[in-house]
Amino acid sequence: MATPVDPSKQGHENVTETPVSTPKSTSFWLVIASLCLIGFTASLDGSIIAIALPHISSALDIGDKYVEVANCFVFAQTVAQPAIAQLCNIFGRRWPMIISIFVFALGSGVAGGAKNVATMIAGRTVQGLGSGGIMLLVELIVCDLVPQRERGQYLGIVLSFAALGSIVGPIIGGALATRDWKWCFFINLPICAVVLPVQIFFLRIKHISVPLRGVITQVDWTGNVIFIGSIIGILIGLTFGGTVYSWSSWRIIVPIVVGCVGWASFHAYEYYIRNGSPCIPPRVFGNRTSAAAFYMVFIASMLLQLTAFYFPVYFLAVRGTSIIQAGVDFLPFMLVLIPGSAVAGVILSKTGRYRRLHALGFALSTLGLGLNTLLGRDTYAGVWAILQIVDALGKGLVLPTTLPAILASLPEKDVAAATGMYSFLRSFGYVWGITVPSIMFNNRFDQLSYQISDSQVRDSLAGGRAYQFASDPYIHTLEPHVQSEVLDVYLQAIKVVWYGAMAFGATGLIAVAFEKRVALRTELETDYGLQEKQKEDNHGSEIALREEGSP
């Protein structure tokens, strides 16, 4: 193992250093393939009921509980990640991953077999807990298997599959729901059945054993309780605001305010116990590179979710396509995002330069989002396909390269905590990627609804229901002149979403200026790594382990 380097003492990035690439074993590639598959599945499940929910609501007579069904998964997935990251430092990576997959499969079975709303909420919550662990551990295990210089390459592959899951989730959910909504959840079971044996037999990652007493004392119980409670409060406000209650309601204002105060108190408490065992050590934010990259992953995730939700609205509402056709029309974005992410990872591995990738990525993404304002009711297919490609290229350059930038400026002992915060901010960004554009879209639609001459149609689409009716054939059964008015209002409301997205993308571009050029280490410097061989020394008391990727 190489001598650890203190990132805080490194100067400018050494771009001339050539990474040493070592042959990877069959076990390594099996693990990477299984991470791609389970990452795709866990991410898919977060968005699969976006379109299938009306079918599920009707089948189970859910009524006004549909918001709880939609959001309990996100709540559980998001709040658990920092706590799971701390447990990974104690128990290693292997068993937390195996347990997370099992919990995810269990929740899928419960949700698929649900006969009432209570069982559905319970199943989705269990699924969310498992998915949160999976999404964190997928990235953490990749970081344990390869040195920093190679992480972008493999993260690009793995994260592109996860991004694909988020994007195609609504389309797959809509297709499955037309057959049998239960398969929106049962589809996970055979996939978990394939992945679990690979993880059990090939994911043998070493870790430092901790006695039971140490387990109890090393977990930041107080910090985790404060964190989980405050984030749940914020999520309740963000997800119920504008849907169940108005944004001015005390039922929305109180949880958001209490949640924000609790979150600030959490960070104050973490600083107070900084020399103990905080679940999120303040030092992970202690330099401008990691802080800027944390912000960038939040913004990039938010914009990815926004694009995935509002480009289909354009196709469904304005152009009148079917759900399946909307998925086909969105293919240019997906087909560029995945190889683009992989290519960005390879470039990062070869050059070690992440700032240029971030700058170019946010520039392209911001440009693409801004150009989306040119979309009209009769825009040629080639035009909207090119706009998707520009945006996808930008996001593909940013998504797989932010975590290596975060870890470049931190010691290896902080990999789990930093990855936990990275994974949390990504999930949190997904929530904002639905909430913020929904506020902009609904407000703008209501402001412009006076342009709809039919008062009955105007009232049916007001109060946040315009998004709900985007995929409903109701709009295209209206009288021609009323339909034309409605489509114009939809188009103008969506345009405001693109303007807002462009503004957020510009803040990501500004954040790049705060990053420093830090060298990506070319040798693996972790206490965790893929165990290839075991052999006892002459005294039979020590085990020598060769890490995957070590010279």
- Residue predicted with more confidence, 530 or 305: 305
How far is CA 31 from each of CA 35, 38, 388, 454, rounded to the nearest angstrom? 6, 11, 32, 58
Q: Are 197 and 349 in contact (CB under 8 A)?
A: no
pLDDT tens profile 310-320: 888 888 888 88
Q: Are 429 and 305 in contact (CB under 8 A)?
A: yes
Over the stretch 177-203, which tens digit does the pLDDT of each residue have?
A: 778 889 999 999 999 999 999 988 888
The number of C-alpha atoms within 13 Å of 269 and in the hemisphere containing its C-beta is 18
The three state secondary structure string of 227-257 is: HHHHHHHHHHHHHHECCCECCCCHHHHHHHH
Residue 10, pLDDT > 70, answer: no
* Confidence at residue 316, expressed as pLDDT on a 0 to 100 scale: 83
The ranges assigned to domains in the chain are: 23-219+279-518+527-532, 220-278
Q: Which amino acid, one-letter code, is at 88?
A: C
Q: pLDDT-based confidence at 394, cuts 50/70/90?
A: very high
Residue at token pair 């480009």 = 311
- Between 42 and 47, where is the model more confident? 42
Is 219 or 487 the better-scoring residue by pLDDT?
A: 487
pLDDT at residue number 189: 95
At residue 22, the pLDDT reads: 65
Q: Write out pLDDT tens, residues 407-433.
A: 888 887 888 888 888 988 988 888 888
- Output 401 or 58, whichever has higher pLDDT: 401
Q: What are residue 245's DSSP bridge partners?
A: 241
Whole-model pTM? 0.81
Which tops the pLDDT comparison, 503 or 181? Answer: 503
Identity (one letter) of the amino acid at 295? Answer: Y
What is the C-alpha to C-alpha distance for residues 481 and 487, in angstroms, rounded to an integer? 10
Q: Are 259 and 232 in contact (CB under 8 A)?
A: yes
Nearest to 74 by CA among 92, 90, 50: 50
Please tell me the class of the 23-219+279-518+527-532 domain: mainly alpha
CB burial readout 52-89, b (16+ within 10 A) else e: bbbbbbeebebeebbebbbbbbbbbbbbbbbbbbbbbb
CA triple 131-245-302, angle to 5 deg: 40
**Does residue 47 contact residue 308 with C-beta atoms inside 8 Å?**
yes
Yes or no: say if 427 and 138 are a contact pair by the CB < 8 Å rule: no
